[in-house]
Structure 1
Amino acid sequence: MESGEHPEAEGPVFELQVSESDEASEKSMQQKSYEEDFRPFRKGFFLYFSYGSNLLRERLLLKNPSATFLTIAKLEDYKLVFGQQRAWKSSAWKGGVATIEHSPGDHVWGVVWKLNRRHLQTLDLQESNYDGIEVNTKVNTGEILTCRTYVMQDMCSHVPPHPNYLDVIIRGAVQNQLPPEYITFLKSIEDNGSKETTEIYLEVMNLSLIHI
């Protein structure tokens, strides 16, 4: 593939109204509905619902530099869990990683990011051990945003996360002001007790000025 060329994207993608710039659209977001500002067209931008390490902007930007914050949102009838696949362990995070499971009555809070279409491929590559799916998330206004998110392929067992990985998730939740009770829940999750510092954690922290 030559420089500047990008493959055709699959999945839910969105574009801004032609008459509005990114900056003007974000400023007017409080006065207009999300459905008006972000209509589902097959070009331009797509919406991504993050609930794990990509809650932290600096983590997401490592591979997806077009990501911009849109809103926080709730995914209903799912729960957050940590695990691994039978033939795969997280070599980067040294422990269980986040995924979501269907669970009626439960919910998961996360962040909706707006990304340029060209970064659908980089996001898919980052989440190569996950399946991309389309979910309907609810924002505080009650409106529904259809987003791309990821679920682990064939998870075989629940495994606690490395402290570094859990710390990134909590930092992202605080950074984006998820509900206090949900942050309390994240802080109550038991880690695997490892004292090793992972390389990817150091890389993310070098980009982050956040202190909890």
Structure 2
Amino acid sequence: MFADTFLYFAYGSNLLKRRIHINNPSAKFLGIGRLDNHLLDFIKYSEHWRGTSATIVPNPGSHVWGAIWRLHNDDMPALDKQEGVESNWYFAKNVDIMLPDGSQTVCRTYQQTINPPIRKPGEELPVDRRPCITYLDCIVNGAIECKLPEYYIEELKKIPNNGQEASPSMIANQNGIESYTYFVKYVEVLTPYMGTFKCRTYLQTIYPLPRGNRDPIPAERWPSWGYKEFIIIGAKQHGLPPYYIRFLRKFKDNGDEGCIRSDCLLVRYGSNQPCLCRVPGLIPRKPLKLNLKADRERKLLPRPIRSVDIEEPEKKRSKKKLTF
């Protein structure tokens, strides 16, 4: 049943659920466990954390509490990368974990490749081996979230820090989805053949300042040339209305090409591969000519606020002589 999964014992920052789910979306919390004959310690300095990171050190008579996660085997490379196995920061090993009911299970965990000197009972953590405030908060909050024993949480709170905060990028990653650029929203979308659907889409967490109908987009908000081309090629590939493609072309860009390799691959894929988003069957694959005016009269679409930037060019009217 669980042949395609493995158990992972987390004792550091991955105690926090939103932290482990950033790189390992399949992680499922099973419970807590205790690793005997090991001691929680700190040794290697991390530039991102701006302090040392946690490790376990074999030490008879000591123990480390942690969380047990079940992950899919496909997530193992991502977990190894997060723990720095390729860079020789940590190495993976299987350990026997004691469960609260007295039984044991085998879990995968990670230990740093360098072991710190064993500290004597009651000896304070040296200044050069202290973690940052952010890292300790991550461990303590994760311990509380996983409901580790109260005495162990109190021991974690007593660990001294170096007075530093983690780098902004690491703080953003730790905050998880709360710091993401977009948020999820469900909207009703009218399709040309299959009626109305409720779809999932994404909006940026920061709204731009409102503009008038005829106000241009400020230069600091122009997209790159590459990003604009991505949108236009996709619009053509999926057969969006020609007037809307012309509307997209009117957007000004900042001239930046962006990732040239991505641009080339996108153009090649968009030129050689057919659009696969349409439902097969009787639905024609030719671009649909929408009659928006008729749809508005039938109250299928709201009447938009027109702008000179998106209006269609008026057809030339034949001048007729007036007779009196």
TM-score (normalizing by structure 2): 0.49
Among 105, 109, 115, the residue aligned to 1:145: 105
CA radius of gyration, larger in? 2
The answer to whether structure 1 residue 174 and structure 2 residue 144 are counterparts is yes
Structure 2 unpaired stretches of 5+: 118-125, 179-324
The verdict on how the C-alpha distance between 1:196 and 1:122 changes in structure 2, with shifts beyond 3 A counting, is closer
Aligned to 1:125: 81
Instruction: Tell me how far 1:203 sits from its aligned partner.
Output: 2.6
Structure number with higher strand proportion = 1
The verdict on how the C-alpha distance between 1:180 and 1:156 changes in structure 2, with shifts beyond 3 A counting, is closer
The answer to whether structure 1 residue 51 and structure 2 residue 11 are counterparts is yes
Instruction: Tell me how far 1:153 sits from its aligned partner.
Output: 1.0
Q: Which has the higher contact order (CA 8 A, sep 6+)?
A: 1
Q: Alignment identity in percent? A: 38
Structure 1 unpaired stretches of 5+: 1-14, 17-42
Instruction: Tell me how far 1:49 sits from its aligned partner.
Output: 0.1
Aligned-partner Cα distance in 2 for 1:94–1:101: 22
The runs of 4+ residues in structure 1 deviating greater than 3 Å are 155-158, 195-198
Aligned to 2:250: none
Secondary structure at 2:147 match in 1: coil
**Residue-by-residue CA offset, 1:142-194 (whole Å, 9 max, x unaligned):** 11010000000124676100000000000100001000000000000000012
Report the residue type matching 1:116 in the other structure.
H
Secondary structure at 1:204 match in 2: helix
Report the residue type matching 2:10 in the other structure.
S
The answer to whether structure 1 residue 114 and structure 2 residue 74 are counterparts is no
CA RMSD of aligned residues (A): 1.8
Secondary structure at 2:160 match in 1: coil
Aligned-partner Cα distance in 2 for 1:171–1:207: 17
Q: How many residues align?
A: 165
Matches within 5 A, 1:1-212: 15-16=1-2, 43-84=3-44, 89-128=45-84, 129-155=89-115, 159-195=129-165, 198-207=168-177
Report if the CA contact (8 A) 1:164-1:197 is conserved.
no
TM-score (normalizing by structure 1): 0.73
Instruction: Tell me how far 1:92 sits from its aligned partner.
Output: 1.4
Aligned-partner Cα distance in 1 for 2:17–2:175: 11
